[in-house]
């Protein structure tokens, strides 16, 4: 019979893991606060379409350049400590961004927000892994995969109602206060980095024998699996942020505003959580992960074509259905990739580094995707060729899914 103290410790650990997930949602709110504010920023600061694209992607600058380094150093610095620092930095950058008087100043603080975002989201999967047992890990990692659409959906729903009444500067200040409040909750709820919560002796043993970071880096980057998941995440994240991030601007141009605008764009982001959570359940039922990744990309390509192709211009309901298909089924991709990062890491000691490399690929995709889609729209005078850019990403994603399947098969043979 399990002692009551052990049961209480496990429940506390699961509760702390949920606190980590909520911290990710707060970080995602900082990403999602921008899209609904783009129309007002265009009026007040003279924001151009290309500048809007860079503002959407600048938050990923730190992740694109530093994610691998953070993955390597997170255990040494402390995962909980890293997340606390990230929340404080996010709050500071958001508060200072509220004082910006020019687009350039806002971009600087947006880039610093990206640095804080990285220190929250990168250590989180490893911290969840330390807090809970294996039986809870897959489910909670699936929930973690939904942090981005959850945060984006909330801001897209609330933003169109908040911004006309109170303005974008109070919007920025609100999220600064929320980040600091979440830092306090995390500090109180999650055990200190010096504590080992897991009772799995084999897992603890792996932490007692540290391996020098150059060796972990070499092991990770010399294996094909981490490259495939990183490139795959780049193909997904770039097009998802580009499409969902510009939806408020697209629908504002179409004449929507207020609650209708907020509801439509929030739902488009929220349905992505369905795919994230479904991926964990489908993996448990034995569906091959490369199949889920390929299906996700095929659905995204189909959805983007329905949403942006000229033939559907007179059928707004079909266009919106395409957006929902794009986002909902696309959620299968990140949910599956978080599981694949753990499986395709060369060794257990390389999991954090592999996740860091994957996050760096994700950040690179989010950095490049919105400006490229904005450039394409400005060149052709509309959004009608957006599906061509997303379609290219989907084709690359399907090819990478095949390479992932090959790596998994090779892994089985070697085992």
Identify the CATH number of the domain in which residue 22 sits: 1.20.1250.20
Query: By C-alpha distance, which of 147, 196, 141 is closest to 13?
Result: 196
The encoded tokens of residue 272 equal 């992505």
DSSP 192: P
pLDDT at 232 over 90: yes
pLDDT digits (tens, 9 = 90+) for 153-201: 888 888 888 998 899 999 999 999 999 999 999 999 998 875 444 444 4
Supply the pTM of this predicted model: 0.75
pLDDT at 229 over 50: yes
In this prediction, residue 76 carries a pLDDT of 62
Query: What is the CB neighbour count within 10 angstroms for residue 333?
Result: 30
pLDDT at 397 over 70: yes
Residue-range definition of the domain harbouring residue 58 = 4-414
User: Can you tell me the mean pLDDT for 335-344?
Assistant: 86
User: Can you tell me the mean pLDDT for 61-68?
Assistant: 74
- Give the 3-state secondary structure of residue 3: coil
Virtual CA dihedral for 329, 331, 335, 338, nearest 10 degrees?
A: 120
Phi-psi region of 206 (alpha: psi -120 to 50; beta: other; left: phi over 0): alpha
- pLDDT grade, residue 12 (50/70/90)? low
User: Can you tell me the mean pLDDT for 234-240?
Assistant: 93
User: Can you tell me the mean pLDDT for 218-239?
Assistant: 93
- pLDDT grade, residue 206 (50/70/90)? very low
Residue 56 or residue 195, greater confidence: 56
What is the number of structural domains in the chain? 1
pLDDT at 2 over 60: no
Specify the residue for token string 């961004």: 97
Residue 200 or residue 374, greater confidence: 374
Displacement of CA 253 from its chain's centroid (Å) = 27
């Amino acid at each position: 019979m399990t002692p009551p103290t052990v049961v209480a410790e496990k429940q506390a650990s699961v509760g702390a893991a949920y606190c980590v997930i909520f911290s990710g949602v707060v970080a995602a709110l900082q990403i999602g606060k921008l899209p609904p504010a783009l129309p007002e920023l265009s009026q007040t600061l003279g924001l151009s379409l290309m500048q809007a694209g860079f503002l959407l992607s600048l938050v990923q600058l730190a992740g694109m350049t530093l994610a691998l380094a953070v993955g390597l150093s997170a255990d040494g610095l402390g995962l909980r400590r890293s997340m606390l620092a990230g929340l404080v930095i996010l709050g500071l950058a958001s508060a200072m961004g509220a004082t910006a008087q020019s687009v350039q100043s806002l971009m600087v603080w947006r880039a610093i927000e990206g640095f804080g975002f990285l220190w929250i989201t990168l250590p989180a999967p490893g911290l969840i892994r330390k807090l809970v047992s294996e039986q809870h890990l897959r489910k909670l990692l699936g929930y973690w995969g939904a942090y981005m659409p959850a945060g984006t959906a909330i801001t897209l729903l609330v933003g169109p109602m908040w911004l006309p009444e109170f303005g974008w500067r109070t919007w920025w200040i609100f999220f600064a206060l929320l980040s600091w409040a979440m830092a306090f909750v995390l500090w109180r709820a999650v055990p200190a980095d010096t504590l080992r919560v897991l009772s799995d002796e084999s897992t603890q043993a792996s932490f007692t024998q540290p391996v020098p970071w150059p060796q972990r880096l070499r092991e990770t980057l010399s294996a094909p699996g981490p490259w495939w998941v990183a490139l795959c995440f780049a193909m997904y994240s770039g097009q998802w942020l580009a499409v969902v991030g510009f939806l408020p601007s697209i629908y504002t141009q179409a004449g929507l505003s207020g609650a209708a605008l907020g509801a439509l764009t929030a739902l488009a982001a929220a349905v992505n959580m369905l795919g994230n959570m479904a991926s964990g359940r489908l993996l448990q039922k034995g569906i091959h992960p490369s199949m889920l990744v390929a299906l996700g990309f095929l659905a995204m390509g189909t959805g983007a074509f329905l949403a942006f192709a000229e033939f559907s211009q007179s059928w707004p309901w079909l266009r919106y259905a395409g957006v929902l298909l794009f986002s909902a089924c696309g959620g299968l991709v990140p949910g599956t990739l978080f599981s694949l990062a753990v499986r395709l890491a060369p060794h257990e000691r390389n999991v954090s580094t592999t996740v860091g490399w994957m996050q760096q690929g994700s950040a690179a995709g989010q950095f490049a995707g919105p400006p490229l889609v904005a450039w394409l729209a400005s060149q052709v005078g509309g959004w009608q060729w957006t599906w061509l850019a997303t379609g290219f990403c989907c084709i690359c994603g399907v090819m990478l899914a095949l390479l992932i399947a090959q790596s998994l098969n090779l892994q089985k043979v070697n085992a």
